[in-house]
Structure 1
Amino acid sequence: MQTDSSFTFVLFGGTGDLSMRKILPALFEAHRAGGMLADSGKIVAVARHATDRGEYIEWVNKHVKPHVSKNGVDEAAWASFLERIEFVNIDLGKAEDFVHLRDAIQDLPGIRVFYLATGPSLFVPICHALASVGLNVNSRIVLEKPLGYDLKSSNAINDAVGEIFAEEQIYRIDHYLGKEPVQNLLALRFGNALFEPLWRREWVESIQITIAEELGVEARGDFYDNTGALRDMVQNHLLQLLSIVAMEPPHSMDSDSVRDEKLRVLRALKPIDPRDIGKVAVRGQYHAGVIRGTAVPAYATEPGVKPDSRTETFVALKVEIENWRWAGVPFFLRTGKRLADRVAEIVVNFRAVPHSALGASALRAGANRLVIRLQPNETIRLYCLAKQPGEGMNLASVHLDLAFDQFFREGQMEAYQRLLLDVINGRLALFVRRDEQEAAWRWVEPILNEWKASNKPPKPYASGTWGPAASSAMLAQHGTCWLEEEN
């Protein structure tokens, strides 16, 4: 992915956790690879927690360097990367301070990218301040989630930002869309004649999409207690992955063709009747438990969390898509904190053969399945049946692997690295369009409203497990189970 695109990358929230762990390490990896970033490209960090460039570089060396290059840091590359970095100290709450930013970047070349790695409450003030000093032209703006608390607040932010930046200037980022296996899912489906004829209701029995975390809310208790798993993970990451899995073949891979097809999926989601929410939606909250031998506290005792909190840290949903391709196929979505393992995966369960001439073993579970692992290791694995060596026709489940790190010699690109390069180069396909976001909020909002109206507490689950038993019971009603329960 070579580029000659000159750029000025302005990072608001330059000393924040996201900048430290993801954004600056991703930019360094692109710089270290050579040819991905134009030599003239500059990174301008904006923050209040440093007084000048020297202090900021000291902070970068201390806090960012440990997060880059798993196999050690190339010191020469690191030193040349630091030369790209400039720093501006401004108060984001004072529009008049943005004159200093304008003066600092007005003579720098190329497209301007403004990355808002801040809380959503600052999105609109920052955009207005940029416009007040003429920085909303020849520019792109990147908005991190969460973009609003509900449909109304999301629309309010989008309306305000849309008055200042055109839709084609706005990059709403969802880092799961930048992961290598998600890209390979598109290649698998639309580049291979083997899978596309099977990718429909006649041959698919069910689909599971899981994003599980071992970590709790860590230092994000104040934020998370006002958000919850449905807003934090389902409305964006899980529904975006669902739309990628279920979309029709796009006319081409240009940005609007891909996003048009994703939008059709989101608009085809079967609305959940509030009277049925107890049957198709499970919410839970983690209690104290043990993960990998270490005792961890209950959610309600985490810093920043209200002791009587009813915020969900776990959600499992049964989702249906009302169109010809997917009618009647259940999609099971699941996400949670303090679960038994850190994993993100898509499981496509194909139907068993209609009649087995090879005996009952040909109908066993564990075969006729495609597992797309997004994290921690990125692989695609196809399970099928094969004859065991020896006498008789005894079948066993075997798998075919596409392990990217073994098959391809070049290293994989991290999700943020790919997405940041797409912003710099003006590629919108992997970013969320406003109408997609609105469709997702419209589908999620009745669930939020019903949970609020009922005022029922989330179901408890012990940390280190796979969530409330009701999650497993929901799948059992459909004659299936979560992947890890099969054995």
Structure 2
Amino acid sequence: MMNEESKIEPHTFILFGATGDLARRKLIPALYNMYLRGQIPADTRIVNVARSAYDDHGYRTLAREAMREFAPKSITKEDTWNDFAKKMFYCQLDASNLDHYKKLVNMVEEIEAHSNTKNRLFYLAMAPDFFATVTQNLQESGLSHTEGWRRLIIEKPFGHDFASAEALNNELRSVFEEDEIYRIDHYLGKEMVQNIEVIRFANSIFEPVWNNRSISNIQITSSETVGVEDRASYYEHAGALRDMVQNHMLQMVMMIAMEPPSRLKNEAIRDEKVKVLRSLRRFSPEEVKDHVIRGQYGVGTMNGQQVPAYVQEKNVNPSSETETYVAAKLYVDNFRWAGVPFYIRTGKRLSVKSTEIVIQFRDMPKHLYFNQDGNLGPNLLVIRVNPVEGMYIQLNAKRPGTDEMVVPVAMEFSQPLDASQEAYERLFYDAMRGDSTFFTRWDEVSLAWKFVDPIAEAFTEKRLPLHHYTAGSHGPEAADNLLAKEGHRWWPVYGQETASVEARLEKETATLREGKNHENP
């Protein structure tokens, strides 16, 4: 992890796919917010590249409209926006046509002549089918050749299986070195995901108990309320397994399970993450049915409105068996985590939008002291990633006014709503400084695909059933049974009907204690 004092050097930021949805919703607002914080050097320029017919003024107008729609609170002074807009230029080209790159080369060289920099940062915010083509054209045109540093940022998905990912990586590596390639996973830019390192390695109360002797199980949830929306053409080929598990979910598993790095430097941290994937128990296609649940949303009600089933969505095959939900029981087979199940679940059209990590500690001895009825709640550490950012620790304490009645109590920390930067802002900042800590390395990508491919094969060969669940529910009942077989259950995430962990436990405690204590709380 690079020192926070590392400075961003002036550079030319070349954004391919500059008129796309991602650029308008996330990238332009991120760059502007960085400018407001003084993180973009005065001599840095942004060259926006796409096929649409705009000139500089037209694109600046498009960018201003995007800000008004997606980040209206960021623009408070027109003069400030106008100053930022002067840094943006536009080049119309067909990214697959090498002849068109001459115009882009001339524009970049002219800009660099005036801004006195030779550093170039390329961002491919476009369909992954273009990654290899654009990279080769950067080389053939000479754009990738510069006297300064050069870096390439690419969006997921990085391939659709190990073979395609390896082929793509070989194409990229024929032009860029591994340490020049920044594979972006926006989950790694989220405040509380990055905070996992601090929680673990800056607090002496956690590291001694961060192991199989003290932890019962770990649950990682990433639920969405939206359906497939306008991504059907991509989602039909990807499904929840490739879209979420191969990258976002496994990244969170790695952050929780990694060993303390030898030093807080980017390669040392990523080395430890890779070790987790090497220890992750792989399933044969025959074993998948015992560890993985797949589901697909049906018709349901969201916010009082009926929503269609997945197979009724636009551009979805009516007989599609693409999964929109995955739950799984994973094991990290090393000395620290042997025997501890890592439960993951992710899906669309669920009851709430929430990303949380729950660390459930082992129960106190039953039939002893305050646990004589065996109903004492476990201690929990909950890391809330989205939409609320913060931490929640659940302890047991005596209820005031009673003799021995024990109830769960909460110690909670929440980030102020406006305190955290957006994930892309944080990741842009790192890439501009040359800090690759929270970007994925090739060996991470390859090992993740090697774990996922047998599961995908089992899905394709229909070795396990496709469970249908009602839109607006918590997911298929089979996912609950996956945990129940081990004597566990899913803890509710922020925003569910039970509202919070403590409310659910409070209700259960009251039910179990009913009749034993008639005092008013």
- 1:459 counterpart = 2:462: no
Partner of 1:50: 53
Equivalent residues, number: 482
Q: Residue 223 of structure 2: which of 204, 212, 230 is its match? A: 212
Deviation at 1:67, TM superposition (A): 1.6
Q: Is the 8 A contact 1:362 1:385 kept in 2?
A: no
Whether 2:81 is the aligned partner of 1:78: answer: yes
1:474 aligns to what?
482
Unmatched tracts of structure 2, length 5 or more: 493-497, 505-521
Indicate the residue corresponding to 1:435 in structure 2.
443
Q: CA deviation at 1:68?
A: 1.9
Cα distance, 1:252 vs structure 2: 1.3
Q: Distance in 2 between matches of 1:334 and 1:424?
A: 33
- 2:12 aligns to what? 8
Distance 1:303 1:73 in 2: 38
Alignment correspondent of 1:95: 98
Once the two structures are TM-superposed, the CA of residue 363 in structure 1 deviates from its matched residue by 4.8
Match of 2:176 in 1: 165
Question: How many Å apart are 1:454 and its aligned residue?
Answer: 2.5
- Residue 364 (structure 1) aligned with residue 376 (structure 2): yes
Pairing partner for 1:37 from 37, 40, 62: 40
Alignment correspondent of 2:153? 142
Aligned equivalent of 2:344: 333
State whether residues 286 and 463 of structure 2, in contact with CA within 8 Å, keep that contact through their aligned partners in structure 1: no
The answer as to whether partners of 2:376 and 2:406 remain within 8 angstroms in 1 is no
1:251 aligns with 2:262: yes
Tell me which moved more, 326-335 or 68-77.
68-77
Partner of 1:25: 29
CA shift digits 1:339-365 (9 cap, x unpaired): 000000100001122354224478523
Moved more, 168-177 or 136-145: 136-145
**Percent same amino acid at aligned positions?**
38
Q: Which residue of 1 aligns with 2:412?
A: 401
Q: Return the offset for 1:61.
A: 1.8
How much does 1:467 deviate?
1.1
Residue 69 of structure 2 corresponds to which residue in structure 1?
66
1: distance between equivalents of 2:119 and 2:486? 52
Counterpart of 1:226 in structure 2 is 237
Determine helix, strand or coil for the equivalent of 2:318.
coil
Deviation, structure 1 residue 70: 4.0
AA aligned opposite 2:33: E
Deviation digits for residues 140-181 of structure 1, max 9, x if unmatched? 000100011110000010000011000010000011111111
Aligned residue number for residue 214 of structure 2? 203
Superposed displacement of residue 451, structure 1: 1.4
Q: Specify the structure having the higher radius of gyration (Cα).
A: 2
Which SS does the other structure have where 1:106 is aligned?
Answer: helix
- 8 Å CA contact 1:29–1:68 kept in 2: the answer is no
Tell me which residue corresponds to 1:236. Answer: 247
Output the CA distance in 1 between the equivalents of 2:101 and 2:198: 44
1:273 positional shift: 3.0
TM-superposed CA distance for 1:391, in Å, is 3.0
8 Å contact from structure 2 (residues 33, 74) kept in 1: no
Deviations along 1:207-228, one digit per CA (max 9) or x if unpaired, are: 0011100001111111111110
Whole-Å separation in 1 of the counterparts to 2:225 and 2:51: 32
CA contact (8 A) 1:31 1:81 kept: yes
Please state how far the C-alpha of 1:457 moved relative to its aligned partner: 5.7
Q: SS of the residue aligned with 1:304? A: coil
TM-score calculated relative to the size of structure 2: 0.90
Q: Which segment is superposed worse, 48-57 or 326-335?
A: 48-57
Shift in Å at residue 455 of structure 1?
6.6
Which residue of 286, 295, 301 corresponds with 2:312?
301
CA distance in 2, matches of 1:248, 1:69: 42
User: Which residue pairs with 2:188 in the alignment?
Assistant: 177
1:363 to 1:455, Cα distance in 2 relative to 1, 3 A: closer
Aligned-partner Cα distance in 2 for 1:29–1:394: 51
Which segments of structure 1 move beyond 6 Å, counting only runs of 4 or more? none
- Secondary structure at 1:472's aligned position in 2? helix
The equivalent residue for 2:163 is: 152
| Counterpart selection for 1:106 from 106, 109, 120 | 109
2-structure distance, mates of 1:121, 1:480: 42
Cα distance, 1:64 vs. partner?
3.3
Give the deviation of 1:110 after TM superposition. 4.5
The answer as to whether partners of 1:50 and 1:56 remain within 8 angstroms in 2 is no
Indicate conservation of the 8 Å contact 2:325/2:345, yes or no.
yes
- List per-residue Cα deviations over 1:271-312 (Å, max 9, x = no partner): 113222222100111111001212111111111111111110
**1:62 Cα deviation from its structure 2 partner:** 1.8
Q: Which stretch shows the higher mean deviation, 473-482 or 135-144?
A: 135-144
Report which stretch shifted further, 459-468 or 266-275.
266-275
Are 2:120 and 1:116 aligned? no
- 1:28·1:68 contact (CA, 8 Å) conserved in 2? no
3-state secondary structure, aligned to 2:123: strand
Could you say if the C-alpha distance between residues 455 and 93 of structure 1 is closer, same or farther in structure 2, counting changes exceeding 3 Å? farther
When the two chains are superposed, the root-mean-square deviation of aligned CA atoms in Å is 1.7
Q: What is the CA deviation profile of residues 402-448 of structure 1, one whole-angstrom value per residue up to 9, with x for unaligned ones?
A: 21218xxx821111100001111100110000001000000110011
* Range with greater deviation from structure 2 (456-465 or 165-174): 456-465
**Is it true that 1:445 corresponds to 2:457 in the alignment?**
no
Measured in 2, the distance between the counterparts of 1:309 and 1:184 equals 39
Q: Does 1:273 align with 2:284?
A: yes
Structure 1 residues 388, 72: CA separation in 2 closer, same or farther (over 3 Å shift)? farther
Say yes or no: does 1:350 pair with 2:377. no
Whole-angstrom CA distance in 1 between matches of 2:375 and 2:440: 40
Q: Unaligned stretches of 5+ in structure 1?
A: none
Letter in 2 for 1:102: V
Give the equivalent residue in structure 2 for 1:314. 325
